[in-house]
Amino acid sequence: MSRDLALKMKWELLKEKISKQFADGDIVDLDAIIYLIGVQELGQGYRTFKKDEKVNLMHIAICRLLEPLGYYKFNFFDEDGWPHYKTIDELPFLKPGEQSVLMKEAVIQYFVEKEFIPS
């Protein structure tokens, strides 16, 4: 099976599982999944977040997702319990489609590590 086909199949499986569990069956997109990862990584449970907090949740998720690839490293938790990361390596310039593939691969790896989907 080609790498692209394997990625597509795992991505569809992941979207389906998350959609059933968190969106009453409505299909979630990459941004929604990244947001959920941010909420998970914050570790404060679900609550209503302000607009700037939602942006910060997305940032937390992206840092966490790209940490295994060597772009970020966890640095500390602040006094409110929010994780902070430091940049280790600058991201290369990627076209939008390439960015999407990179993030989907990182999201899949995250959920494999969490044993939410099989490897």
Interhelix angle 30-42/3-22, rounded to 10 degrees, is 60
Domain residues for 53?
Answer: 3-113
Measured over the CA atoms of residue 18, residue 107, residue 74 and residue 35, the dihedral's sign is negative
Does any domain span residue 38? yes
pLDDT in tens, 28-41: 999 999 999 999 99
β-bridge partners, 73:
86
Give the pLDDT confidence score for residue 70 in this predicted structure: 95
Structurally, how many domains does the chain consist of? 1
Q: How many CB atoms lie within 10 A of CB 85?
A: 18
Does any domain span residue 17? yes
Closest CA to 40 of 62, 56, 16, 57: 57
Output phi, psi for 2, to 5 deg.
-70, 155
Does any domain span residue 119? no
The half-sphere exposure of 46 on its side-chain side, counting CA atoms within 13 A, is 3
Does any domain span residue 109? yes
pLDDT in tens, 68-83: 999 999 999 999 999 9
Does any domain span residue 118? no
The rounded average pLDDT for each run of 10 residues, N- to C-terminus, in the chain (119 residues) is 83 92 86 95 89 96 97 96 95 90 96 91
Does any domain span residue 90? yes
